[in-house]
Amino acid sequence: MSDYTRSPWAHQSSPIPNRPHVRIVTDSASDILPSHAQAIGAFVVPSWIAMDGAYLRDGIDISASQFYTRLPHLRTPPHTEPATPQEFYHVYQTAFRQGASAVVSIHVSSRLSKIVEHATIARNHLSPSAIDVIDSLQAGIGMWPAVIRAAQLARMGAPLPVIHETTISILARTRLYALVESLEQLRRNGRIGRARELIGTLLDAHPIITVEQGEVTPVETVRTRARGLARLRELVENAGELETLLICGASVESIGQLENVLAGTYRGIIQKTWLGPAIGSNTGPCVAVALVARQ
């Protein structure tokens, strides 16, 4: 059992008055909705979504539902641009102006994006302010459990070292699996990683991918979507006892289908969110599951 579960913050439910507090920052590739981020006191720095020449801020100028409605009608495939160092600098300054004593900034894998690099540049310009930039080596809902728990601890008044340790622990126990329609969008955007070996072998098949050591990595391919959903269930079952189970998709129907498949064997709470534009621009519509193994 880690130290944070024995700490006085483990069972608190509200911020501790007059205690120096930490603010959590993440990016929109975490698939945390802006309304959810506001409710838990976290900042989400939006990536830029390029769609037929227009640049839109993920979650601000375009929502997940708007993105997937427009996606089939685009002349060219969408792509993402990371938030700039200036945008991170502004968010960090805002956190400190609002009274933060420190910031924990948790971001999508540095092997998939320059977001960690840009956040680090902003941090260095604000030195000696206490800003802990964490490379999650994850993407999408693979980041979600760690960010949410970090925000909960921050609101309880936990200090930066406790939040850092907990974040790293959760990320180490998190696995992400996604069932995608095609690897073509990942290939176009240069996010293919070790899954490039599958290009050219998939005619009428659905790849299941994961993020391993920060890179997109193949798990296997299946011939039907139904088999793909069943395989996601098997991967969840094989993970053992779980602390968290989270799913996402590009539509209510796809999320519901995956939830129904998992609910047949998993008796815990299945948390749900949207597959956001930052991830969807790189994968196309897909469904994904993130699980955190219990310690």
Cα Rg, the chain, nearest whole Å = 19
Residue ranges of domains in the chain: 3-47+82-172, 174-293
SS3 58: strand
Q: Kind of pairing, strands 174-180 and 206-212?
A: antiparallel
pLDDT, one tens digit per residue, over 129-170 is: 899 999 999 999 999 999 999 999 999 999 999 999 999 999
> Alpha carbon 209 to chain centroid distance?
15
pLDDT of residue 22: 97
Q: With beta carbons less than 8 A apart as the criterion, state whether 239 and 293 touch.
A: yes
Angle 119-113-77 (CA atoms, 0-180°, nearest 5)?
130
For residue 211, what are the β-bridge partners?
Answer: 216
Crossing angle between the packed helical segments 225-237 and 252-263, to the nearest 10 degrees: 50
The CATH number for 3-47+82-172, chosen from 3.40.630.30, 3.90.1150.10, 3.40.50.10170, 1.10.3720.10, is: 3.40.50.10170
- The pTM of the whole model exceeds 0.95: no
Tokens at residue 5, please?
């579960």
Residue 114 identity: K
Dihedrals phi, psi of 15, to nearest 5 degrees? -60, 145
DSSP string, 231-274: HHHHHHHTT-SEEEEEEEESSHHHHHHHHHHHHTT--S--EEEE
Q: With beta carbons less than 8 A apart as the criterion, state whether 53 and 262 touch.
A: no
The CATH number for 174-293, chosen from 1.10.730.10, 3.40.50.12240, 2.40.10.120, 3.30.1180.10, is: 3.30.1180.10
| Sequential pLDDT tens for the chain (295 residues) | 333 333 333 333 344 444 548 999 999 999 999 899 999 999 999 999 999 999 999 999 999 999 999 999 999 999 999 999 999 999 999 999 999 999 999 999 999 999 999 999 999 999 898 999 999 999 999 999 999 999 999 999 999 999 999 999 999 999 999 998 765 554 554 444 544 454 444 545 788 999 999 998 989 888 888 999 999 999 999 999 999 999 999 999 999 999 999 998 899 999 999 999 999 998 889 999 999 999 8
